Amino acid sequence: MKMIWKIIATFLGVGYFPLAPGTVTSFAIVLLYRFFLHKLSWPLYLLLFLFLFFLGTFASSKLSSRLEEKDPRKIVVDEACGQLLVLFLVPESWLVLLLGFFLFRIFDIIKPFPTRKIENLSKGWGIMADDIMASIYAGLILHLYLLLK
């Protein structure tokens, strides 16, 4: 069972990528969205996001406890969930997808208020919630761009 939580938390092992595993995971989600996920109905897409969020929260808690680290670099399911949320209901054009990718990465790195506070939630909740907050900022800007375009 420990192996399952590791596979989920590292997003099928992407978290072991030697350079910028969170960025690689976010880009993997962009590719999955571009070629497959944009075809899902919005309720099914939302269900996929929620399923991954709660499963990721539990898996992150298990792996971070086992590794005795608060937010291990190899846990990247939070980036996967965050990027999924940014791309919710956007067209699959490369411009929009790359803009969503860059916005999410920027907000995930700079962690504007109250993201740093949310990061202090216990175990997997803090690991996942800060990326969800970053995705809300990025998603709002992306959807505002699409609305004004």
Does a structural domain hold residue 93? yes
How much is the average pLDDT of 34-61? 98
CA 104 distance to own-chain centroid: 9
| pTM of the complete model beyond 0.85 | yes
- Is residue 39 scored above 90 in pLDDT? yes
Does a structural domain hold residue 16? no
| Local confidence band at 116 (pLDDT 50, 70, 90 cut-offs) | confident
Does a structural domain hold residue 48? yes
Does a structural domain hold residue 14? no
Output the average pLDDT for the chain. 95
Does a structural domain hold residue 15? no
| Local confidence band at 142 (pLDDT 50, 70, 90 cut-offs) | very high
Does a structural domain hold residue 7? no
**Backbone phi and psi for residue 112, each to the nearest 5 degrees, phi listed first:** -70, 160
Residue 67: domain span: 41-148
| Domain count for the chain | 1
Q: What angle do CA 121, 125, 130 make, to 5 degrees?
A: 75
Does a structural domain hold residue 51? yes
| Local confidence band at 1 (pLDDT 50, 70, 90 cut-offs) | low
What tokens does 36 get? 């497959």
Does a structural domain hold residue 19? no
List of E strands, the chain:
none
- Is residue 97 scored above 90 in pLDDT? yes
